[in-house]
């Protein structure tokens, strides 16, 4: 099998069931699969349910990782990210807003644009404030492949929204883990 040139990929990470433990475990597992070259600030955000209203679940911790992927986007999503979710007890249900042990979403994969029923790149959550904040922190000049516009144009005042609180300690732990 020929080696594929590494592609810069961005992964949105979130959890609201034992989030510190699950995020640390997911990042550790991911570092065994590919080099992580960036960790954004991780943000505590209120869980939002259907209709965009708070639904009483535990708060989420969310952030973004930058990785050097040597596989294709489909393999990364299903053979790497979904496998890690499975190992950490993630159970996918029809309820889109259900609590989760870990959520690993491939939001960007180089300059690729993929629009298939089970794989969309850029990921549909790319404009959510905590995802945009993480992406801009990791690459302030990031240009979205599908619009060819800088992500910063969508957020002229910055994407940090009311209720987003930085988790400085978790961010420090994750950055240290990726340096090993």
Q: Which position among 44, 66, 105, 115 bears the catalytic label?
A: 105
User: Is 100 one of the catalytic residues?
Assistant: yes
23 vs 141: CA distance, rounded Å: 27
Options 100, 120, 128, 167, the catalytic residue: 100
CA dist 51 and 15 (Å) reads: 20
How is 75-103 classified by DSSP, letter by letter? HIIIIIIHHHHHHTT----S-TT---S-E
Q: Of these residues, 32, 87, 92, 103, which one is catalytic?
A: 103
Q: Confirm whether 4 is a catalytic residue.
A: no
Closest CA to 36 of 71, 67, 61, 79: 67
Q: What's the CA gap between 7 and 40, in Å, rounded? A: 18
Query: 59 vs 44, 72, 90, 136, 157, CA distance in Å?
Result: 6, 33, 17, 23, 25
* Under 8 Å between Cβ of 101 and 19: no
18 is catalytic: no
Catalytic residue, from 66, 90, 120, 128: name it: 90
User: Can 125 be counted among the known catalytic residues?
Assistant: no
* Eight-class DSSP state of 28: H
Contact 48, 55 (CB under 8 A): yes
Active-site positions read: 90, 100, 103, 105
């Amino acid at each position: 099998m020929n080696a594929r040139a590494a592609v810069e990929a961005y992964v949105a990470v979130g959890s609201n069931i034992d989030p510190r433990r699950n995020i640390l475990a997911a990042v550790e597992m991911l570092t065994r699969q590919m080099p992580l070259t960036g960790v954004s600030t991780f943000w505590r955000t209120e869980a939002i349910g259907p209709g965009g209203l708070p639904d009483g679940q535990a708060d989420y911790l969310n952030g973004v990782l930058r990785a050097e992927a040597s596989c294709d986007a489909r393999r990364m999503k299903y053979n790497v990210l979904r496998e890690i979710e499975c190992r950490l007890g993630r159970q996918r249900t029809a309820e889109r807003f259900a609590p989760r042990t870990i959520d690993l979403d491939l939001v960007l994969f180089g300059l690729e644009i993929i629009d298939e029923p089970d794989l969309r790149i850029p990921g549909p959550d790319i404009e959510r404030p905590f995802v945009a904040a993480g992406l801009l922190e990791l690459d302030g000049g990031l240009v979205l492949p599908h619009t060819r516009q800088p992500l910063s144009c969508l957020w002229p005042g910055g994407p940090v929204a009311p209720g987003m609180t930085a988790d400085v300690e978790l961010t420090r732990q994750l950055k240290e883990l990726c340096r090993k």
